[in-house]
Amino acid sequence: MEEVHPIIYWFGFVTAFAGLVGYSSKPLYEFDRHEKYVEAIATFYLITALSFLLHAIYRLFYRKLAYVEIGVVVMLLAASIYLMVYTGIEKFDIRRFKDALLYGAITWLMGQQLQVVKEYFLYAVPVLSAFTIPVFLVSVYLFYSIRNKTVYFTFEEHDKIISSSFFVIYLAGLSTLFVDIPNVHFTFKIVASGVLLYILYKLGNIARLFV
């Protein structure tokens, strides 16, 4: 396992950086692309949900880190690149970049202070997976509802949802960098789960228009 650790850290760093750039970049907004934005979000969460689900299954039954961590971050990196290219970038916001670095540092400090994480370490990924799947399902429902065009729809919340999605990638990448420090690794994944709940809340409010 030690031989592949440099690969884990390298992919973890690249994935965290991709999430950081995505979070710090304001996505384009084109009025006639609402359906395409939702389709991109649904596809993004299909990839992330599969990666976290496979990660959770492997972690619970095999409890080995190295190769599954590499596979997960590669899938997350691919998902983030897809979302960034498909949705486009309007501008880079240096304030968001600084905020993300600050949030990452605060989360790291929180993880350093936790004392009771080791016994719950294996459950961080299943929790993350459990929150990702509903986000994917709601985004798919929203996509098909928009295609049916049952109500007038504007997707002005796309900025917050897309940026928050990149923030999840950023946190997941950082968690991989600290895979050998259970407290910090656990904390990054739990905070990412909290961000997913926020995204689910935002998408849920939009999906209610079609119920």
Q: What is the pLDDT of residues 25-40, one digit of tens each?
A: 988 877 777 778 888 9
Q: What is the pLDDT of residues 142-194, one digit of tens each?
A: 888 877 776 666 677 788 899 999 999 999 999 888 888 878 888 898 899 99
pLDDT higher than 70, residue 136: yes
Among 43-52, 73-82, 94-103, 174-183, the range scoring the smallest mean pLDDT is 174-183
Task: State the CB neighbour count (10 A cutoff) for residue 11.
Answer: 21
What domain range is 143 assigned to?
2-210
What is the pLDDT confidence band of residue 1, given thresholds at 50, 70 and 90?
Answer: very low
Coil vs helix vs strand at 43: helix
List all residues 6 or more positions away from 208 whose beta carbon is below 8 Å from its beta carbon.
Answer: none
Q: What is the pLDDT of residues 119-130, one digit of tens each?
A: 566 667 778 888
Q: Average pLDDT over the chain, rounded to whole?
A: 84
Q: What is the mean pLDDT of residues 66-84?
A: 86
Question: What sections of the chain are H helices per DSSP?
Answer: 5-24, 34-61, 66-87, 94-113, 124-148, 158-177, 182-207
What pLDDT score was predicted for residue 2?
Answer: 42
Contact at 8 Å (CB) between 206 and 142? yes
Model confidence pTM above 0.95: no
For the chain, how many structural domains are there in total?
Answer: 1
Coil vs helix vs strand at 195: helix
